[in-house]
Structures are given as structure tokens and as C-alpha cells.
Structure 1
Amino acid sequence: MAIQFDNRAQKKKSSRLDPSSPGEKQPTTVSGLLVRILCLGIIAALAVMLTPALISTGQWAFLAVIWGIVAVLVVVYATRRFVPAKYLVPGTLLLVLFVIYPIIVTFQLSSTNYGDGTRTTKEVSVSRIIANSAVQADGARTFNLSVGSEGSSTGGPYTFLLVDESTGDAFAGSPDGLRELDPGSVTVDNDVVTAADGYTILSRVEVNELSQGEGPLVGFAVPTDNGVITQQGFRAVELSSPLVYDEATDTITNTQTGVDYSPVQVGDRKYFTSADGERLSDISWGENVGFGNYIRAFTDPAISGDFLGIFAWTLIFAVLSVATTFALGLFLATVLNDDRVKGQRAFRSTLLLPYAIPAFISLLVWSSFFNPEFGLINSTTGLGIDWLGDPFWAKVAVLLANLWLGFPYMFLVCTGALQAIPSDLKEAASIDGATGLTNFRKITFPLLLVAVAPLLVSSFAFNFNNFGAIFLLTEGGPFSPDNPTAGGTDILISYTYRLAFGGGAQQIGFASAISVMLFILTGILAAIQFRATKKLEEY
């Protein structure tokens, strides 16, 4: 008994000395502790740097999320507790930031009319409408202008920092109105505000860039008791306008003519329009439209008319792309998996070359191959096929190019799956009299499908929305003169892209609604496929 006690004591003592002993907390090394402190310090410092900008712009939700992430990281990694969370937190954060959050933002945008001409609020749009009709009156005030941002220089919100040329008083002007600044809160140099508390002063180059095209300073107006203040180069002038906006009735009245203009819905946006249909301005604004974008997708004849045909081709394109690439990849993997084949490594390396070349380069090269006059395919074979001009042959060309791009991936997947199948099963089947084809059909192929079925589903989902293959090769064409909107090779994603962005104005809200519907449709199809592949579990 004494010997047994000594042995147990010795084992207990040795287990305490053994760092790999289970149940014992490992001591933290100095280098590991320093790395942990450094990483947490960097994350906390970034949060501190972002806090003033978020507070100044009122982004309270983002502020709470950022500091919540910092708190979680500190609690998880600054202590020895929550060991499983140390491995789960990074993946969970990346999932939320790069998957869940974009989906939420896309769904939120889909309920708005956000796009070209509707990027501003209604208040800003009203100020621009009034400013565009304003004229300079005798004795109107003039100002030296600088522009300040309460956030980033490119994100705003922006404020006119004005110095009255006659009095030298400093003002801050925004679409909400004009307010005088405390002389102690601003620095004025040569009658221009060069610094102000709470504002980042924009350079003249930045002001020029923001004042061009559809920049946020185009039409920027500051309402006053006498009219509005608008920008004229690096000066500002007070103008008087015959238009007056009444917030209570939501109307703009022309005091000279007495005509009232009310918001009237036109498509996905509103314009101030008189009772007889005269539009006051082409300026609109962004607002929530609810499910209007989704209703438009099913009721607009320009969209729903070609939807079923394009949807059918999208399914055919996705199915054939997966089927052809998988068949070719499996055939090559099976042939090169035979030990009797010499130079397997060289052949496998050669077959992976299409996978190593960027897809956009390969597609551009293939588009030159399909040129009907001097393309490689017609020149080599003597054919006179108009590959990209005929709808049928354009579809064949897209499938051929996608086969070239996709089979190396399937070759890799099938090679790994074949090498993972135990050779004992095939040897046992051969002893029982199974031929090579029977062996492959009854044993190898079912076992291979168990491994690659989820990858086939993901490949289907990818090709269902394979915008790059269509856009770079055919741009959705060919197009017929009587229907220039829907092309012969358009799939749903390229068709909706053209509808949303191919016209005169970008319709980001509508495009987001289409993206949400494609997301749901792809998810449903993938769920059906996953359910079907569960039958393979019996193998």
C-alpha cells in the first residue's frame, strides 16, 4: 500500500509539472501577454478615435455597437475565463459584420427610393428648390465663405461658415437656418473662418469637388428671414425668392403668382406640382416607400414581361454550368487517380492553369475567341457561327467559357474525394465480381457524392448569380431592336442590374429590392437541394 501511495503521489506531482496535463491552467507567457495588451489597446484606440465623429454626427447606434464590441473583446481576451468564446467571438463578429449587417442594410435600402436625384432629405431638397428660384435683391448681404464638416470631409454633414463682409460677424449656416457664432469659438483670418469648434474646415480643392455634378454642396442653401444664402464660388450671397414653403400644409407657394405646389407621386419619387400638373422643379428627395419597390418588380410591364423567360434561362445556365463542370472535372480526376497513369503531378498542374488565371482575364480572352470574323474558334474550325450575335449560340458560348473556368475547381474537389475513399471497398467489390464500371457506379460515385454534394449546391448558388461571366463575355446580349432591355444571355442578376443602373439614373433602392428577392430565391433553391442531398446520408 505504501508503494501504491508513493506512485500515486509521484503521478500527481508529475502531472502538475507537465504543461500538457488536462485540467491545469497554463501560465501566460510574457510575449503572449504583451501581444494581447497591444491588440486590445489598438482596438480601444480605434474606438476612441471614431467616438468624436460618431457623436458629432449623431450615429448613436454605431457608437453603441463599436463600444459593445470593444467590451466583449476585453472581457473575453483580458481574462482566463470564457475559453470557448475566445474561438467563437472572431468568427461571430466577422459573420455579423460581413454577412448579417450587409443583408440588413440591403433590406433597409429596399424600402426606400434612394438613388440619383433622391440622395438628399426633403428639407435639403426644399431649400434647393427655393434657392434655384432666388434672385439677388438690392442691398443683399454678402459673405466670405468657408465650408466645415461635422464628420468626415467626404461624408458631412456640411455647414457654411460665413463672415459678413460689412459687419465682420461670423455665422454658421445649414438647411435648418442661420445662427451667429461666438467669436471665441472661431478663428477668422482675412475675413475667412479658418477654424471653428466642432468643425473640420474643408480645403478649397475639396469644396470644388463637392460643388460639382451631384455633389452635396450643389444647391446647398441656408434659409433666412429675407430669403436664402447660396454659394457663389468662395463667396456667398443672400438671395430673395418668391417661393415660400409651408411645413404645416406641405406646400410651396409662389407669392408672385399665388400658385400652390404640393408633392405628387411620380414613379418611386415625388415632385412639387401644381393643381394643373405644372411641375415646379425636377428636384426630388429620398423617403421610405415600404414595399413599393417589390410591388413594382411584379407589376411593371418593363420588368415582369421578360421575367419568366430570363428566370428559366438562369436555372438552365446554373444547372448546366454545374453539371458540365462536374462531369468534366470528375472524368479527369478519375482518369488521373489511376496509379497506372504516369506523370500525374504534371497533368494535374496543367489542368489547374485555368483556375490560376483571374476569371475576368479569361473571359475577355474568350470573348475574342468567339469573334465571328477573326476569332480563334471560327478560324481554326472553319465555322462561320456568329457566336455572340445569335441568341442560341451566345448561350452556348457562355456555357463553354464557364466550363473552362469551372472544371479545375471540380477537378480538385473530385480528386480529393476520390483519394479519401478507402481502396478496400473497391477491392472487395472486385473480388465479388464487380467490373470497373459497376464498381464506379455502385461504390465510388455514391461515396463521392456524399462529400461533394454540398459543394455542388454552393456552386449552383454561385452560378445562379454569376454576374461576371455574363457581363464580361456578352454584357447580357445579344439584344433585339424591339426589346433593348432584355438580352439573349441575361440572367436575373444582369437583367436587374441593367434595369437599376443602365438607364439615365441609378435606382439603388429598387436594385436592393431585387437583390433581396434574389437572395430569398437562391436560399429557397439551395434549401431544396440540401434537403434532396440528405438522402445520400444512408451511404
Structure 2
Amino acid sequence: MPSTHAPAHRERTTTIPTILARVLFLGAVLAVAAFSVPVMIQLQQWMWLSIVVLATIAIFALYSTKRFVPGKYLFPGTLFLVVFLITPIILTIGYSFTNFGDGTRGTKEQAIDSIVANSVQQSDDSTWYNLSVATQGDPVEGPFTLFLVDPGTGTVYQGDETAPVQEVPSGDVEVTSGFVTDADGYTILDAREVNTAYDTIQQLAVPITDSEAVRIQGANQAFEGSTVLSYDEASDTLTDSRSGEVYSVGTVGDTEYFVNADGERAFSQSWLQGVGLSNYERLFTNAGIAKQFGAAFVWTLVFSLGSVLLTFVVGFALALVLNDERVKGRRLYRSVLLMPYAVPGFISLLVWSNFYNRDFGLINETLGMHLNWMGDPTLAKAAVLLTNLWMGFPYMFIVSTGALQSIPSDVMEAARMDGASRLQTTIKVVTPLLLVAVAPLLVASFAFNFNNFNAIQLLTEGGPFLPGEYTRGGTDILISMIYRIAFGGSGADFGFASAVSVALFALTGVLAAIQFRFTTVLEDVN
């Protein structure tokens, strides 16, 4: 007789939709890898190439079989951790040992090509062209391609820094009034866009031959000229054909440049090089920089601790008041107090920056004062703390309200029965119990304010600055000072900024560890 009992378990079967979904997913991963790997090899991005290859292998190993079930769930989070946290840290540390910055971003070959191309000189018989600038990428960053129209013959040419000038078939472009106005696959920049990117476009030199190139003159004209400098690979030198002067490679500071016979730097262009611990030596041994770093570090501590203390005291006090059941309309008051938290931070900062205007700001107008909030370092620091208090106390109010409501009421009643006043109950009973819950959040708030770039940049831009000082302003914290070093008007210095970032990362970790160690004292308050 056939059995009437159901089997103890049934083996799971893979359905056709599941198989199709898996095939599509793995196919998409393989397509992305096939596209990315050649590009990364061409760009010599070996770290990202390794990540892509290893991630692709891991995905196929995990998701093409029914095995490794825990790994299927752990892998996505691990991949994002590596890509968005660990890899940037590794890259920052790596750049801190280089001279990466303005004029030192590319390879030596690229630097030589740029120096030679920029030596193009106009002659009496130079050919002039009507110029149109185009791009297949970003209108500001490029890369840019030049479309040239010979006014005499109407012939159209195109070229860029990597591709020599070549004639363009008439059917591929549209010419209006002697200028190219449309080209297949390109976006022609208008006058405003050319003006925005002019500093970059002006440096372009499109080669024609080894000794001739096209340079831009103005926004819509270009000329054909001859290169004055030539490079000799055997001797690793540049020679000026006009003066006969020879430039060889020499070290200026911690970076190699082409120098003249006196060892002085002949060109601003250099190339990416390893400089060892030079950036760290500069940070800790240069008296001026060390002083600026120390002053910024002290103010960063004051700003972070002051912000946490002020916001917590105000938020906790308001939470205590509105936790009393005798207060009517508590929900309305709480909603009103949360409004600063609901407004986007960058909007609040920009609005408050107008409040501090010396001539027509709301604060001076209301109080009948004429204080130079943004021009005096002490007042500017007070303005930063006041604004951060406005933006931060609602968060502490929310946290304190939740913590207060979790404290058993019988604990406070017991304290009152023992003869404690309301103030004594709050200080000796409620506060320690509340700190048990909120202490880790206070540590996190300190770490956040330690790197609170927006509060400084959008409110004071790091100012006010002393005469002749451009690296650190009166309200600059370490992170905003690093930003100014990396992207300042005196030229980007990413290598040194990376070294300061590494030092800041270490400082933040040490301070957070110390604070977490102190919070363990509160574990006995239970």
C-alpha cells in the first residue's frame, strides 16, 4: 500500500525565475567588469583594478552556487565597507607620501609634453584659425577638443592634446559664419562656458608635428606656431632652440623639476613623485605650520567640547521642563523646539551668516549694537558657537526626552521619600541615569563637531584672517584648514593636506577612545 505519511522534508528546488534572475545578475556583473578592467589598466589604476577583479570573483563564487550562505549576506556590506571607507583611507595615506598637487598631478611624460607644448611661439607667417571649443565630457573640466576653421580655404580641422590636428570631413560638422557650431558626438561650448573654463582651455596646445602646434589666442581664435623647447630622452634634458640653454632634472625642496644651470626651477610644471616623510616633517618641524596646526587643534577642541556641552545643557534643561506632566501643551512646545532640527543645516547657516552682518544684521539691529561679528576673531568664535547651539540643541532635546521617559518613576519617588529636593533628585539621580544612555551619543556628537566642516565654511569661511595669512583663519578648525590647504587660492597641495588628514584621523581616534574609556565609569550606575 502506498504510504499515507508526508515526507519529513522536501528538497528545495530552484525555479526558473530564480535561475533567470541569477543569470541576469551575474551577466551584469561580468559586463561591468569587462568594461571596467581595460579602462583601469589603461589608466593604471591598479588598486581599483584589484578591487574589481576580486569582487567579481567573489560574486561568482558566492552567488553561482547554493553554498556559502552566510557569505551571501556578509559580502555586500563588506564590499561597501572596503570601497567607501577602507580604500579612501588607504589612498589618503598613500597620497600623504607624495607631492600630489597643482603642477604635480600627472606623469613625467605628461609634464614634459605640457612644457614643450606651452613653448609654442607665434611667427610672422603663422596661420590663424577661427576657433570653436568642444567637449565629450564636462564643460568645465573637459577634456576639450579644438575645432579649427581656416578662414582662407574654409577647411575644418580638429585636435586635442593627445591627437594631432587632422582634417575633418565636411559632413561631420556644421559651419556657420566661419565657425563650427555643431559636431557629431561633441558639445560645442558657448561663450559663457568658454569663459568659465578659459584658464584650462588656454593651456591647451594641440600638436601638428614634433616641432609645431596650435595655441589658443582669445576665446575664438587660435594660431599655428613652432615649439621653442625640445626634449632629449637620452640625456633627460630640455633645450631652448633660441638661447641654446639646456635644462636638466634637479631637486628643489622635495620635488624634482627641470632646472637651469644655477639649479633654479625653470618651469612650474613637475610630476607626481614620492617624497617619503617630507610632508609629515613639514607639518611637525616647520615652526609656522606647527603653530597654525596647534592653534587650529586647540580651537577645534574648544569648538567641539563647547558645542556638545552647550547643546546638551540646553536640550537637557528643556527636556526636564517639558517632561513635567503639569506643563500644559507639551506636545506643541516640543514640536516648536524641533523646528531648528527640521530646517536643512546649510540653509540655517547661510541665514545666520546674514544675522551677524555688522551694518544691517538682525542681531545688531535688534540689540542696537554695532559689533563686527565676522571681523573680530573672538566675536566670530562666539558666533560659531551660538549658531551651532541653535542647530544642535533639538537633537539633544530629543535624546534627553527619550532617556528621561525610560527612567522608572519609582526611582525618583524613592529619592523624594528619602528627603531629596527636586534639584537634588535631578542632579544625583536623574542625571547619572540619563548619562548612562546618552554618553555614547555625546561622544559621537563630539566626533561629529570635531570635523564639522559645514558649520565653519558656510558661516565664516574660516575667517577672519590676519594680514598676510591665508592658510588658517580665526575660526578655522582642522578640517576646514585642511580644505584650504588642499583647494586654497595659493594652489592645491593634496599631498600635504593628506598628511594633515592622517594626523587628524589619528587625533580623532585617540580622543574618541579616551572618551569611550571614561564612559565605562557610568556602567556602575545601574
The answer (yes or no) to whether the contact 2:202–2:216 under 8 Å persists in 1 is: no
1:422 maps to a residue whose letter is P
Corresponding residue number in structure 1 for 2:347: 361
Q: CA deviation at 1:366?
A: 1.3
Corresponding residue number in structure 1 for 2:176: none
Deviations 1:41-87 (A, max 9, x none): 54444334434433544545434422422332344345443333333
The number of residue pairs the alignment matches comes to 503
Work out which of the residue numbers 316, 330, 333 in structure 2 matches 1:344: 330
For 1:170-319, list aligned pairs within 5 A.
189=169, 203=186, 205=188, 213-214=199-200, 218-219=204-205, 221=207, 224=210, 227=211, 243-254=229-240, 257-267=243-253, 269-276=255-262, 279-319=265-305
d(CA) in 1 for partners of 2:292, 2:138: 44
Q: CA deviation at 1:150?
A: 13
Corresponding residue number in structure 2 for 1:72: 58
Q: CA deviation at 1:500?
A: 3.6
Q: CA deviation at 1:275?
A: 1.8
Two-structure CA RMSD over aligned residues (Å): 4.7
Q: CA deviation at 1:506?
A: 1.8
Q: Does 1:370 align with 2:356?
A: yes
Work out which of the residue numbers 415, 422, 427 in structure 2 matches 1:436: 422
Corresponding residue number in structure 1 for 2:515: 529
1:213 maps to a residue whose letter is D
The answer (yes or no) to whether the contact 2:96–2:499 under 8 Å persists in 1 is: yes
The alpha-carbon distance between structure 1 residues 139 and 402, as it changes in their structure 2 partners (threshold 3 A), is closer
Corresponding residue number in structure 2 for 1:495: 481
Corresponding residue number in structure 2 for 1:520: 506
d(CA) in 1 for partners of 2:205, 2:459: 41
The answer (yes or no) to whether the contact 1:111–1:513 under 8 Å persists in 2 is: yes
The alpha-carbon distance between structure 1 residues 475 and 527, as it changes in their structure 2 partners (threshold 3 A), is same
d(CA) in 2 for partners of 1:13, 1:424: 56
Deviations 1:362-417 (A, max 9, x none): 11211222223332223323344332222222211111100001111111112222
Deviations 1:277-318 (A, max 9, x none): 565433322222222222222344442233333322221111
d(CA) in 2 for partners of 1:96, 1:25: 36
d(CA) in 2 for partners of 1:520, 1:431: 49
The alpha-carbon distance between structure 1 residues 378 and 428, as it changes in their structure 2 partners (threshold 3 A), is same
Corresponding residue number in structure 2 for 1:466: 452
Corresponding residue number in structure 2 for 1:423: 409
Deviations 1:439-472 (A, max 9, x none): 3333322222222112111111111122211122
Identity of aligned residues (%): 50
The alpha-carbon distance between structure 1 residues 387 and 538, as it changes in their structure 2 partners (threshold 3 A), is same
Corresponding residue number in structure 2 for 1:169: none
Moved more, 106-115 or 382-391: 382-391
Moved more, 403-412 or 365-374: 365-374
Using the size of structure 2 for normalisation, the TM-score is: 0.78
Deviations 1:497-521 (A, max 9, x none): 3344333322222222222211111
3-state SS of paired residue (1:473) = coil
Moved more, 511-520 or 127-136: 127-136
The alpha-carbon distance between structure 1 residues 109 and 202, as it changes in their structure 2 partners (threshold 3 A), is farther
3-state SS of paired residue (1:374) = coil
3-state SS of paired residue (2:360) = coil
The alpha-carbon distance between structure 1 residues 393 and 260, as it changes in their structure 2 partners (threshold 3 A), is same
d(CA) in 2 for partners of 1:28, 1:427: 62
The answer (yes or no) to whether the contact 1:111–1:291 under 8 Å persists in 2 is: yes
d(CA) in 2 for partners of 1:523, 1:222: 55
Corresponding residue number in structure 2 for 1:4: none
Corresponding residue number in structure 1 for 2:153: none
Work out which of the residue numbers 433, 437, 441 in structure 2 matches 1:455: 441
Q: Does 1:403 align with 2:389?
A: yes
The answer (yes or no) to whether the contact 1:113–1:287 under 8 Å persists in 2 is: yes
Using the size of structure 1 for normalisation, the TM-score is: 0.76
Q: CA deviation at 1:15?
A: 8.3
Q: Does 1:478 align with 2:461?
A: no
Corresponding residue number in structure 1 for 2:313: 327
Deviations 1:473-504 (A, max 9, x none): 22222233364654322222223333443333
3-state SS of paired residue (1:367) = helix
The answer (yes or no) to whether the contact 1:293–1:509 under 8 Å persists in 2 is: yes
Q: Does 1:104 align with 2:90?
A: yes
Moved more, 40-49 or 382-391: 40-49
Q: Unpaired segments of 5 or more residues in structure 2?
A: 127-132, 147-158, 174-183
3-state SS of paired residue (1:103) = helix
Q: Does 1:385 align with 2:371?
A: yes
The answer (yes or no) to whether the contact 1:211–1:218 under 8 Å persists in 2 is: no
d(CA) in 2 for partners of 1:187, 1:260: 35
The alpha-carbon distance between structure 1 residues 481 and 65, as it changes in their structure 2 partners (threshold 3 A), is closer
3-state SS of paired residue (1:342) = coil
Corresponding residue number in structure 1 for 2:178: none
The alpha-carbon distance between structure 1 residues 367 and 25, as it changes in their structure 2 partners (threshold 3 A), is farther
Deviations 1:10-54 (A, max 9, x none): 9x97986xxxxxxx9877787777666655554444334434433
Corresponding residue number in structure 2 for 1:3: none
3-state SS of paired residue (2:200) = coil
The answer (yes or no) to whether the contact 2:252–2:264 under 8 Å persists in 1 is: no
Deviations 1:102-128 (A, max 9, x none): 111112222222222222221122123
3-state SS of paired residue (1:529) = helix
Corresponding residue number in structure 2 for 1:505: 491
d(CA) in 2 for partners of 1:495, 1:77: 46
Moved more, 37-46 or 507-516: 37-46
d(CA) in 2 for partners of 1:535, 1:342: 37
2:102 maps to a residue whose letter is D
3-state SS of paired residue (1:271) = strand
The alpha-carbon distance between structure 1 residues 85 and 293, as it changes in their structure 2 partners (threshold 3 A), is same
Moved more, 461-470 or 78-87: 78-87
Q: CA deviation at 1:433?
A: 4.1
Q: Unpaired segments of 5 or more residues in structure 1?
A: 1-9, 17-23, 141-146, 161-171, 179-185, 194-200
The alpha-carbon distance between structure 1 residues 248 and 433, as it changes in their structure 2 partners (threshold 3 A), is farther
